[in-house]
Amino acid sequence: MKLGFLTACLPQLTLEQIVPWAAAHDYDALEVATWPSTGSRDFEASHLDVAALDQDGAEQVRALFDQHGVEISAFAYYENNLHPDERRRAEIAEHLRRNIDAAALLGVPYVGTFIGRDPGRSVKENIAVGDKVLPPLVDYATERGVKLIIENCVMEGWHPDGYPGNLAYSPELWEWMFSLGFYLNYDPSHLMWLGIDPVEALRPYVDRIPHAQAKDAQLDPRARTRYGFFGKTLERDNPWDVGWWRYRVPGLGDVDWRAVVDTLYEGGFTGTLSVEHEDPVWGGTEEKVKQGLIVAHRTLRPLIVA
């Protein structure tokens, strides 16, 4: 098992700045953010222009990572592959294919994304659409020796009422994804607030989890009593502010990391455990984000066998 982090938490930095920092702070791998560059990195990070990557560019990227002894564990392009606007859905699919091409060129084994959802349709209706539009993406990846890994983030902010916006949030839906050829980029933080035991949910599926994310969640049952499970409604100005839980870096929330890592080992996991830093306490500035990554490292490194 290797310890890494998702580069999206440092959107203002370049790979040339992130890779040496990761190496100096004892991280083994990076899950590289590959959203399209839009000129603004405030919300989505673009640390590698996969659409423009050619052989020369790939050699430069390899040299950078090899110089510092760091690996690329996966590419990260988490978007809505069931977007209700078919034109936008096609754009997302096209960029996902460019991710797959770049991964094949660089020898990166995994590309991470979401299933997504059309919020105007029921779950069953979305699954019917997914059964038609998603397998060609899996086939495209498989033909190039790449696996598509789906993070089980709920993406409640994508739904107007805070309901699941990514149909990958439960083991029941994981099994549907697996039937299409996807793999799981397991993240226990989302299971915590859904009331799903992250260890028991993990145990049967480790063989379908080649990559995992390390994010914690801090729950506030008293606030849940006020707002209910789905979170704030009248007081919800930010679609992501549910009011009764928040993400934290590993060690500052309620996830039992010793049990999670032990279960991964027991199931034969040999991939990367990648810190996804979305902690509001250790966020807002480059200095704070880096300190949060150091806190996560202090929590997780002692659990990972050298």
Domain of residue 193: give its range. Answer: 2-303
Reading the block at residue 26, the tokens are: 């004892």
For residue 38, what pLDDT band results from cuts at 50, 70 and 90? low
Total number of domains constituting the chain? 1
CATH of the domain at 251: 3.20.20.150
Nearest CA to 33 out of 85, 74, 70 is that of 74
Tokens for 169, please give them: 């949030």
Q: 113 and 75 in contact (C-beta within 8 Å)?
A: no
| Mean residue pLDDT across the chain | 96
Q: Where are the beta strands (DSSP E) in 222-271?
A: 245-248
Report the pLDDT averaged over residues 118-144: 98
pTM (two decimals): 0.96
Alpha-carbon Rg for the chain, nearest whole angstrom, is: 18
Whether residue 40 is predicted with pLDDT greater than 70 in this model: the reply is no
List 216's β-bridge partners, or say none: 248
Q: pLDDT at residue 43 above 80?
A: no
Q: 2, 273 in Cβ contact below 8 A?
A: yes
